[in-house]
Amino acid sequence: MPQRRGVVLDRPASVGNRTEWQRRVEEDGELLLDGELDDTRVVCRKEQEERVRAWQLMRLRLRFIETYKKRDFNQIWLDLCQDDPEAKAAIRSYLRDYVEISQTTGPVLGEQEFEYVQTITSTTTVITHWRILVAYADNMILRPMRRDDPAADETRRPRQLVEVEVEWIRKDLAARFSLIRESELTFEKVETTADDVLMLLDTLWTRAEDVPCKPQYRIALHWTLILAGLGFRPGSLMRFCSKHVRLSVIRDLNNGRTTLAATINVTHDKRHKADPRRQEPEYVNSTVGFTVFFVPCQLLCLVSLIATQAIADHKMLNRPNLEHTDALELHWRKDIMEREIFPSSYNK
């Protein structure tokens, strides 16, 4: 008969009439009741940051409720759990505002030059934003209330308010802003051609006043567009540090002239090691490397981008002479290995 496998725990020695194990449980219970022990669900750093950003946006947009109606922001969530019409109206007003403020002007390659674009186009985006807000409100507001007053536990849970508002988003909000519903979503992948990349890069620079951003972000976007055109996911191109690029001086064996070559190593996105607290497969980080040289088209020359940025930022450890060798790597300074070559932001 096969033996049962399990985790063997060392049972602590007894302390008086109680075991050490029991004493720890009682201490943890007291800490939990005093609010010193966090009983919220553990989330990854990225999700927590997303929750905080969404929460700050909502607080900013609903500030008028606290200012003019003298209504406590935390009380709105408690009233929502009790299906209060005024609280529900405030939340729906915010969600409508959330879609409206996503409208922006974008450059058009034609006679019109500009057109208004609504960046939020699907109900999935709004529903995800709403669920993030509810999860954060539950952890920060409703959970402490349930802990302080266990008798009112059922009236301070956000289960019902989530689904009620989701249904409203799918029907009313979708109809008002022509949002695509989940059942209507289609993902048609269209190949990016070299002409497409050239058009985007040319627009980025020739119509710079219509694409306002800091110089560092314009260069970073230039870099990202070229690599994205090669098929890499945007997430793979964020936090692209000096250690991911090897810049070398090489000799052209045909004419003896020196030139630059860059070996670029891109880490596959969504292949990071899984959080051990989650039931997910464990992926091994993998990278793909390739070497590029100078190309006649300056807009598409990655080596020029890397070299000019490195010189401008004084990133090179030294600038040696080839002498009698045919290839020589230009080493980066040790203190910039973890620094981004082209500082960028996914949200810019």
Summarize pLDDT for 38-92 with one digit per residue, the tens: 556 667 777 788 888 888 888 877 776 665 566 677 888 888 888 888 888 888 9
Q: Assign 109 a pLDDT band (cuts: 50, 70, 90).
A: confident
Residue ranges per structural domain of the chain: 41-184, 194-275+282-336
Q: Which residue did the predictor score with more confidence, 26 or 165?
A: 165
One DSSP character per residue, 256-310 reads --EEEEEEEEEEPTT-SPPPTTS----PPP-EEEEEEE--S-GGG-HHHHHHHHH
For residues 264 and 241, the answer to whether their CB atoms sit within 8 Å is no
pLDDT of residue 65: 62
Summarize pLDDT for 327-347 with one digit per residue, the tens: 777 788 888 888 888 887 766
pLDDT of residue 1: 41
Q: Assign 35 a pLDDT band (cuts: 50, 70, 90).
A: very low
pLDDT of residue 38: 55
Chain centroid to CA 232 = 16
Summarize pLDDT for 111-169 with one digit per residue, the tens: 777 888 888 999 999 999 999 998 888 888 888 777 777 766 666 676 666 788 899 99
For residues 218 and 344, the answer to whether their CB atoms sit within 8 Å is no
pLDDT of residue 151: 66
HSE, side-chain direction, 13 A CA sphere, residue 108: 10
HSE, side-chain direction, 13 A CA sphere, residue 131: 10
For residues 203 and 114, the answer to whether their CB atoms sit within 8 Å is no
Q: Which residue did the predictor score with more confidence, 107 or 129?
A: 129
How many whole angstroms separate alpha carbon 303 and alpha carbon 292? 7
Q: Is the pLDDT of residue 277 over 70?
A: no
Summarize pLDDT for 225-239 with one digit per residue, the tens: 999 988 888 888 887
Q: Assign 101 a pLDDT band (cuts: 50, 70, 90).
A: confident
Question: Position 282: which residue type?
Answer: E
pLDDT of residue 262: 93
pTM, to two decimals = 0.62
Summarize pLDDT for 176-207 with one digit per residue, the tens: 999 988 777 666 777 888 899 999 999 999 98
Alpha helices, DSSP H, located in the chain: 20-33, 45-61, 63-68, 73-81, 85-100, 123-137, 143-148, 159-168, 174-177, 194-206, 215-229, 302-312
